[in-house]
Amino acid sequence: MSWKAACAVTDVEDQKFKLFDVEGVPILIAKLGDEWRAYPPVCPHMEEPLMESGICSKGVLTCTKHLWQWDMLTGEAQGPAERPMLMYEAKQEGDQVMVLVEQELDYDDDDDDDDY
Ligand code: FES
């Protein structure tokens, strides 16, 4: 397990996220005030790309496909969402955003039925 540099702190605007390739792993990096968060780049519902379908507003991420929502700080499901978001650990180190990547997080890994 190791911390990897994802981007510069100036690369992401506050209350927004952006997609980065972190040594071959696609990761969305979000800035929420002084906090950094890192998520897989797809919706937990049907794996829609969140760069296209995701909207950030007031710390809440909404996937516009079926309006599932999550608290961006905790990844917790809100409203109609039935699954939380997976998250990588993220932190600021100097002017870099670092992400702890043990393996690529994937929504298929933790549930293989088709109820969602
Ligand atoms: S694909 Fe994102 S809410 Fe359904």
Residue 109 — pLDDT band, cuts 50, 70, 90? low
Which domains are seen in the chain, by residue range?
Answer: 2-101 (2.102.10.10)
pLDDT over threshold 70, residue 26: yes
What mean pLDDT is reported for the chain?
93
Q: What type of residue sits at position 55?
A: I
* Ligand 1 and 37: CB distance under 6 A: no
pTM of the model: 0.91
Q: Which residue CA neighbors atom 4 of ligand 1 most closely?
A: 66
Q: 54 is written with which tokens? A: 């995701």
pLDDT, mean of residues 99-111: 83
pLDDT, mean of residues 27-45: 97
Rounded CA-CA distance 95/81 in Å is 34
pLDDT, mean of residues 34-62: 97
pLDDT over threshold 50, residue 116: no
What number of other Cβ atoms are within 10 A of residue 111's Cβ? 11
- Structural element, H or E, at residue 19: strand 16-22
Residue whose pair of structure tokens reads 């969602």 in the numeric block = 116
CA 103 – ligand 1 centroid, Å: 23
Rounded CA-CA distance 27/68 in Å is 19
Nearest to 58 by CA among 99, 15, 95: 15
Give yes or no for a contact between 50 and 28, defined as CB atoms under 8 angstroms apart: yes
pLDDT, mean of residues 33-47: 97
pLDDT over threshold 50, residue 104: yes
Question: What confidence tens digit (pLDDT) does each residue in 55-86 have?
Answer: 999 999 999 999 999 999 999 999 999 999 99
Q: Where are the beta strands (DSSP E) in the chain?
A: 2-8, 16-22, 25-32, 35-39, 54-57, 60-63, 68-71, 77-78, 89-93, 96-101
Give yes or no for a contact between 16 and 57, defined as CB atoms under 8 angstroms apart: no
pLDDT over threshold 60, residue 114: no
Q: Which residue CA neighbors atom 3 of ligand 1 most closely?
A: 66
